[in-house]
Each structure stands twice: as structure tokens, then as C-alpha cells.
Amino acid sequence: MKKIVALIMVLALLLVSVSALAENIDVDTLRIQFVPTNTETADAATADFSAYMSDLLGIPVTVTVATSYNGIVEAMESGTVDVGIMPPATYAQARDMGVAQAILSSTLGDYDQETEQPIPGSVTGNFKAEVLVRADSGIDGYEGLAGKTIAYLGASSASGYIYPVAEMKKLGIDTEKCTWINITSIPSAILAVVNGQVDACFTFEGSRFVFAKAVLDENGNPYDLYEVLKVAKLSDGDIPNDAVAVNPKLSDATKAAVTDAFLKMASDEAGRAIMSTWGHTGYVPAIESDYDTIAEYIALAAD
């Protein structure tokens, strides 16, 4: 369901003082982990993110980058992470295990599905999975992927595996006859398509725009992804955005302080610059039912 800018403005009016809540935080150090959109640039953002959140909360904050989708679930389960910025399918898994509770959902800028250009001023609470192929490949739709070599981001990635695979199976396509290559870096997966090393890659809607400057030729120049590649298919199903989830054992005061800190982060330029590392434009209260439909897709993709 689409979220509108007005909702974010209303939320800002409801914020309470973070400093007042911070006095009741029940941890000495808050440990945050996130799954990056671009693994090749994520590490550079951790120091800024840590300092920013420490200033807001008044306690030390450590930030780490998840090494995999499953890694952040394991970190939440073991109690070594207090707050996870989690992709939707990953959050659904952690929620079912009882180790994560969503406090916020992210908002993203929406894209024109014909041009794959951002729609100015738009805000959306969901997105599509995207199948990228070479423009000269002759591949259209899921049917064209039968027997092909496909790069996927990970078996726990909603857009990078679960949704497209589930929808291929719904059409009766034998996915076992495809050759699957796990490439966890989206720019690297896109480059593999450009170079013909794979026939297609699964990613998220708007990837050609997001990674326009990150997919480089042998001379270090960016490819024109709109010329070299095309979108063979957008998923039929909508995928809910990332969740900001906490360890359910944290106190209500700590959860409130973390919630307000993330909302504050979306309200100023420095915070938004940090958030761009994982592609978020803002946050709204999490609605658990938004993540319920993912279970059906996970089961079908795993079948």
C-alpha cells in the first residue's frame, strides 16, 4: 500500500523528546546491524551512522554490516544485535523465530515502471522484484528464463530470489533446469549480465537508476544500463519495504527511543545521507500484516 508524504509529516508532530527517553534506555551500548543495498560501499557508512545515532541516543552505538541475509537473523537470534535494518523476507523469518519485532517500515522513492526513472516527490511502502537481461537477449517475461543462467542475490532475498522464483513456479517453469549463480553484490550481478556471463539477474525495481554509476567497463567508465539492458519482468506481487526491527526483550522505553531516533534521522540532511546507504527515504510505523504474504512466497520458492 502506498504511503504518502503527509503521513510522515504527521508523524513528525507526534515525536517526543529522544533525550528524555534516552535516560531510560536499558542497554549500555546499542548494537545495530544492517543489510546494505551496495556491499561495496557499506563499510564507509558505519562510522557516520554510529556517531549520528550515539549523538541522538546519548549512549555508545556500534554499527556492523551483515555479511548475509541469514547472518542478520542469526545475530538477532544470538542476542549480539539489538536493532536490525532487515529486508522483508529476512524480517519475516526472524519474526517467525520470535527474535525480532518491527517498530518501523521504510519508505522508498517510487519509480515509473515504463521509464524506470524516479517519480519526483513520490513515496512508496512497497516495491517490485525486477529481472534484468541484455537488451539484445530476446528474453521476455518469466517464460524466457527457462533453462537460462541466472544470477540471484541469495535464497533469503525477496526481490533477489524468492518472488521471481515463486512466480516462475506458479507458471509451471521448471526452475531446476536453470543454472543458478549466487552473486551477493547487485552491481556485480548486473555486470555479469552486461558481460554475458549470465543471462539474467534478479534485483529490485529501479536498479538501473540506482546503480547507473556503479557498473563500470574495463576503463572505469559506467555503462549506459538503459541502453545495454532491459527489464524482462517486474514481479506480479508487491514486496513490503525493509523493517527496522528490535530485539523483543528490549524495554518499551528503549524501543521508543530507537523509534524516535530513526524518525529524527529521516528529518535532516545528515541523517538522510546516511540512510541512502541502504536506500531508505523515511520511516513509518510498521504494520505486521504487510509482511504476512511473504510466507506464501517463501514456501513456494523453497518447494
Number of domains in the chain: 2
- Least confident piece of the model among 11-20, 132-141, 164-173, 185-194: 11-20
pLDDT band of residue 295 (cuts 50, 70, 90) is confident
The distance between the two most distant Cα atoms of the chain, rounded to a whole number of Å, is 61
H or E stretch covering 283: strand 282-285
Q: Are 34 and 88 contained in the same domain?
A: yes
Q: Which parts of the chain fold into alpha helices (H)?
A: 5-14, 18-22, 43-57, 69-78, 88-96, 163-170, 186-194, 207-210, 225-228, 252-265, 269-275, 294-302
pLDDT at residue number 69: 81
Q: Which residue has the cell 551483515?
A: 66
pLDDT at residue number 23: 54
pLDDT above 50 (res 277): yes
- Taking CA 83 as the corner, what is the angle to CA 185 and CA 127, rounded to the nearest 5 degrees? 50
Q: What is the pTM of this model?
A: 0.78
Sheet holding 101-107, edge to edge: 61-65, 30-34, 83-86, 243-246, 101-107, 282-285
**Average pLDDT value for the chain:** 88
Q: What is the pLDDT of residues 120-159, one digit of tens each?
A: 888 888 899 999 999 999 999 999 999 999 999 999 899 9
pLDDT band of residue 280 (cuts 50, 70, 90) is confident
Asked if residue 120 belongs to a domain, the reply is: no
pLDDT at residue number 10: 37
- Least confident piece of the model among 12-26, 110-124, 191-205, 241-255: 12-26
Asked if residue 27 belongs to a domain, the reply is: yes
Q: What is the pLDDT of residues 83-98, one digit of tens each?
A: 999 999 999 999 999 9
Instruction: Map residue 79 onto helix, strand or coil.
Output: coil
Give Cβ neighbours of residue 37 (< 8 Å, ≥ 6 apart): 186, 210, 277, 278, 279
Q: Are 74 and 221 contained in the same domain?
A: no
Q: For residues 93 and 75, is the Cβ–Cβ distance under 8 A?
A: no
pLDDT above 60 (res 182): yes
Q: Are 248 and 185 contained in the same domain?
A: no
pLDDT at residue number 39: 55
Asked if residue 25 belongs to a domain, the reply is: yes
Q: Are 207 and 244 contained in the same domain?
A: no
Rounded CA-CA distance 130/34 in Å is 22
Domain extent, residue 208, equals 129-234
CATH number at residue 183: 3.40.190.10
Q: Are 33 and 60 contained in the same domain?
A: yes
Give Cβ neighbours of residue 231 (< 8 Å, ≥ 6 apart): 116, 130, 131, 132, 208
Asked if residue 20 belongs to a domain, the reply is: yes
Rounded CA-CA distance 19/16 in Å is 9
Half-sphere exposure of 295 (CA within 13 A, CB side): 11
Half-sphere exposure of 101 (CA within 13 A, CB side): 14
Rounded CA-CA distance 189/185 in Å is 6
Q: What is the pLDDT of residues 14-58, one digit of tens each?
A: 344 444 445 557 789 999 998 876 555 566 678 889 999 999 999
Asked if residue 56 belongs to a domain, the reply is: yes
Catalogue the E-assigned strands of 75-217: 83-86, 101-107, 126-127, 129-134, 149-152, 179-182, 200-204
**Averaged over 151-179, what is the pLDDT?**
96
**Averaged over 235-241, what is the pLDDT?**
94
Q: Are 244 and 228 contained in the same domain?
A: no
pLDDT at residue number 24: 56
